[in-house]
Amino acid sequence: MTRCPSCSARISPSAERCPSCETPLPAGATKTVEVPGPGIRAPGPEAGAGSSVDGGRFVPGTVLAGRYRVSGLLGVGGMGEVYRAEDLKLGEAVALKFLPEGLHLDGAALARLHREVRLARRIAHRSVCRVYDIGETGGLHYVTMELIDGEDLASLLRRIGRLPKDKAVELSRQICVGLAAAHDAGILHRDLKPSNIMVDGEGRARISDFGLASLEAETGDDVFAGTPEYMAPEQLERGEVSTRSDLYALGLVLYEMFTGR
């Protein structure tokens, strides 16, 4: 599909200006790409949502839990592998995010994860990637999530640097209202950063991975401890988290969007 080289929104191959960010499009400036799935660190902007990254645990065609047929490995995030799969019951494509091995041995962490996923399911907002369910197969736990056709903000910023001002303002507003919807539902993100924000095929910001960073409090494992570069001082020093912690991280994300640094 044809994408704007600035904001990754879908555009007509003959367009002279992106309708989303208003970036002028000289002849040959657009390109056809498939962009990565939800909330992962993909190898680069050419990684496809249906592509397979070498080294995945499950090969395409594998049916998990009698319900999810694996299409391919989207990538490997901070916690584990993320797969594109087809929900055979509903006939829809979903993302399966696997959690670290050994989680089933920690009852407190697993109980907290179930609580957070229940809360995350309450967030029904256009600027938030939907969380569907939590499951287990072969002793491995996974979370099923909405599959976003888009590129994560971290990848986008690495590729183009600073966003055009109008587009940065637009995405900032969407991220803010999405985060507010989560806080209104009583859930914190705890690890808000560009790689956990998708820019979908319509050029809209979608926050992902709500509820997953919360395991830090139970596991003590660094993989759940958030990202130091985006942590508020009280979170970094004492592990204290609140809505203010998310707002601190939000400010850093917005700074990157407007400055490219």
DSSP string, 181-237: HHHHTT---S---GGGEEEETTS-EEE--TTTGGGHHHH--GGGS--GGG--HHHHH
Residues 6+ apart with CB under 8 A from 189: 179, 182, 196, 207, 209, 210, 213, 246, 249
Give the mean model confidence (pLDDT) for residues 33-52: 36
Q: Which of 152, 191, 200, 209 is catalytic?
A: 191
Give the mean model confidence (pLDDT) for residues 59-82: 89
How high is the pLDDT of residue 197? 97
Q: Is the per-residue pLDDT at 142 higher than 80?
A: yes
Domain topology for 150-259: Transferase(Phosphotransferase); domain 1 (1.10.510)
The mean predicted confidence, pLDDT, of the chain is 81
How high is the pLDDT of residue 55? 62
- Burial code (b: 16+ CB inside 10 Å, e: under 16) for 166-177 equals ebbebbbebbee
pLDDT band at 43 (very low <50, low <70, confident <90, very high): very low
Q: Is the per-residue pLDDT at 225 higher than 70?
A: no
Q: Is the per-residue pLDDT at 27 higher than 80?
A: no
Quick check: is 191 catalytic?
yes
Choice among 12-16, 35-39, 80-84, 146-150 with the minimum mean pLDDT: 35-39
| Measured torsion, CA atoms of residues 32, 160, 206, 52, in degrees rounded to the nearest 10 | 50
Residues 6+ apart with CB under 8 A from 245: 188, 190, 231, 232, 234, 235
What is the C-alpha separation between 9 and 11, in angstroms, rounded?
A: 6
Contact 137, 98 (CB under 8 A): no
Choice among 135-144, 184-193, 208-217 with the minimum mean pLDDT: 208-217
Q: Which residue has the higher pLDDT, 136 or 14?
A: 136
How high is the pLDDT of residue 238? 80
The domain ranges of the chain are: 1-32, 63-146, 150-259
Q: In CATH, which superfamily holds the domain spanning 63-146? A: Phosphorylase Kinase; domain 1 (3.30.200.20)
What is the C-alpha separation between 119 and 131, in angstroms, rounded?
A: 9
Half-sphere exposure of 37 (CA within 13 A, CB side): 27
Select the highest-mean-pLDDT range: 4-8, 100-104, 209-213, 228-232.
228-232
